[in-house]
Every structure is written in structure tokens, then in C-alpha cells.
Amino acid sequence: MRNLSDTIARLAALKAAYGQGKRRSPRDRLKDMEIAGSNPGALKARTFIPENLVSGAPLVVVLHGCTQSAAAYDDGSGWSVLAERDGFALLFPEQQRANNANLCFNWFVPGDAKRDAGEALSIRQMIETMVKAYGLDRSRIFIVGLSAGGAMSSVMLASYPDVFAGGAIIAGLPYGSATTMPEAFDRMRGHGGPSESDLQKLVRSASPHQGKWPKISVWHGTADSIVDISNMETIIRQWAGLHGVKTSDYVSEHEQGYVRKVWHGTDGRELIESYAIDGMGHGTPLATGGPEGYGTPGPYMLETGISSTLRIATFWGLVDVGHRRRNNTADTRSEDYVHTGEVLVPGALTNDNDEGRPGGREHRTMNAQASDIQKIIEDALRAAGLMR
């Protein structure tokens, strides 16, 4: 395990790597929702309910990445546009700065990353509130997230497999791979972690579930320098054994710009899929061009010519394949964002004055004056969510 000095050095290095991408005010189509429950994780609930929503409609839970808001992620990904077209409800849990200075979900904090506790329980309570309020279909509840939101999606899928029919993890990490900030950074870099059998044991022990496991979609850029692409393979190994499939037994589709792999069950159903996007950095893959494009490019929302939003919804059965094929003919590729992606980390050193100021605030280095060392440590711990 890395020591605290090493962790602080990594925090500083990652903060220094922050780019100043194209920023704009996102279109906010979401509404606030009061949570029926104790909300122990102190999260905010935001929703999108299409006018054409009918009783028994599906629900998709969407988890934003670090530094993002729910509205920004929706605007970038286009989930509410697709939900409006196909008639399903959306729930956007939103992190608060009091919980994590960088607005990351605390996927590696034990008190927030387990069944019936902390942020995981808050999200579960939001889901129950939505299901009861709108008469939604309990058998068609899904979850998707980016980066820290992707890692938190892993937490929810492992902790509540009885709740979800499917999930999608974009540039995220497997469940239970880290329980401290130093471990989190190591796993992000692709270093260390539990064995394949231990990864599966972690999920099996996370809940009393004995039924079918959620189907899983995993997405990652081959040029992601923030969360190493080896995490995609680790997530697949974690879930393959649960579904009773071999990691080597897949069907591969090689297309321009990506490689898709699919693992089928004995009945022929698609149980796990993965997308490795050529040359993409850290973020959510988008295809925004044409009359049926979804989302808007921006920091961490990367134009690649393939819409993860549309493909994930298709994998879950929320969108018909014909619609996806029509959409693909309109896909365009922009080089503005393909090879980049700003840093999304679980607790990088930031403050409210960083936005709009070139380079953010100046970093302190490890040779700071002795009088400043305590402040550096406290800032790092607060930013990591390890100190309130």
C-alpha cells in the first residue's frame, strides 16, 4: 500500500494535469426530487420524467463523474433526449461538495460502498422513491456511470443485484478493488488488486442475492491515462464467473474505431459486452452528429463516432436495434475530443475558485514549509472523502 506522502504527491500531480477544456453552461432538463428515506449519504436526487411516461416504464439511474453535475452529464450524454423518445424514467443521484470536494462518488470508502449504508443506501432509497411515485417496472431498472460514477455503478450492481436488470461501467473500476485512497490510485493505474476468484467472492458476499445476475456493459478508451484500461478486463473477470462464462469464450466485432466483445449464456443471451474505443482518453464516448445524434461534446464527453448512450440502451433492450442502425448512419467523428479527456479522479485537490482561472490554483509540493504540511494533509484527506 502506498503511504500518505505518495498519495499527496499523486494528488498534486493529477491536479496539475487538469486541462481547461471548452466550458459552457449545460442545459438543465432535470428536476429535484425529495427522497423518501434517511439519505445517509447526503446525496441530492434529480430526475427526468418524459411527458409520455406510462405506468410500468423502465428506470435508468445515471451517475456522473468527478467535477461534473447531474445536469452536465445529462446534457453531455443525451440520456434525457433518448428517454423522452423511448418513454423511460431517469434518476440522477448527484454528489455534494460537503461529501467530496471534487464531487466524486465515494466508491472506495467502505461506509459508502456497501449494501444498506452511506451513499449506496441513498441511491437505493432514491430508486424506491421513483418506483413508487411513478409506478415503474421493478424488473427493468438499470444503472450507468462514468469514472467514479462508473466505479459507484459497480458498487450498486454488486450490493443490489436483486434491484438491477443491467448496468454499464464507463472508464470505471471493479467492485471492492480499493478501500483506501492510496489503493484507489493504485487500481486506477492498473496496479495490484484482488485475484479473479476474490473479485467474484467480493460480489457474492456483498448481498444475500441468489438469483440471476445483472447483464453488464463495460466501456473504456485505449488511451485512457487516468483509469487504466486493464480495469475493463478486471471488471469482465469479476462478472464472467458470476454469469458462468469463461473470459476467453467471447465473440469479437472489429469495427473502425472500436472493438466490441460479447459473452453469451447457454441460451444465447448476451450477458456481458465490452467496448474498447481506439485512441479515446478518459470520458464517455459520444456520437452527436445527424438528426438522431445524442449529447454534446465537452470535458470528459468525447466525440468518437459511437454513442455509448444509444448502444447501452440497446444492449439493455430499451431501444430497438433498428433505431440504433439508423442512428449509426448519422454518426460523425470529431478530433476535438477523441484523444483527450480531462482528469477525473476520486478526490483531486480543487476548490470552488478553480473554474474559469487558467491553470487552477497553484500546487504545493512535497518540500513545502513545515507550517504548511498539516494543511496539505488535511486538504488531501478532505478531497479524498476520508475527512469531513
Assess whether 147 carries a catalytic annotation. yes
Helical ranges in 193-315 per DSSP H: 196-204, 230-243, 308-315
Residues in Cβ contact with 201 at an 8 Å cutoff, skipping those fewer than 6 apart: none
* C-alpha cell, 294: 445524442
Check if the beta carbon of residue 66 is closer than 8 Å to that of residue 104. yes
Rounded-to-integer distance, Cα 296 and Cα 75, Å:
6
**Residue 271 identity:** L
| Amino acid in position 69 | S
Catalytic residue among 147, 159, 274, 308: 147
Q: Which three cell numbers stand for residue 81?
A: 433526449
Question: Which grid cell sits at 359?
Answer: 491553470
Q: 339: helix, coil or strand?
A: coil
Radius of gyration of the chain (CA): 20
Lateral strand order in the sheet of 31-33: 31-33, 44-48, 89-94, 59-63, 141-146, 166-170, 215-221, 270-277, 258-264, 251-255
Among 174, 229, 228, 227, smallest CA distance to 202 is for 174
Which residue, among 129, 124, 116, 122, has the nearest Cα to 143 in the 3D structure? 124
CA distance 167 to 151: 11
Cα gap 260→278, rounded to integer Å:
11
Helix, strand and coil content of the chain, in percent to the nearest 5, comes to 30, 15, 50
96 close to 15: Cβ distance less than 8 angstroms: no
Q: Return the bridge partners of 169, or none.
A: 145, 218
Q: Which residues are catalytic?
A: 147
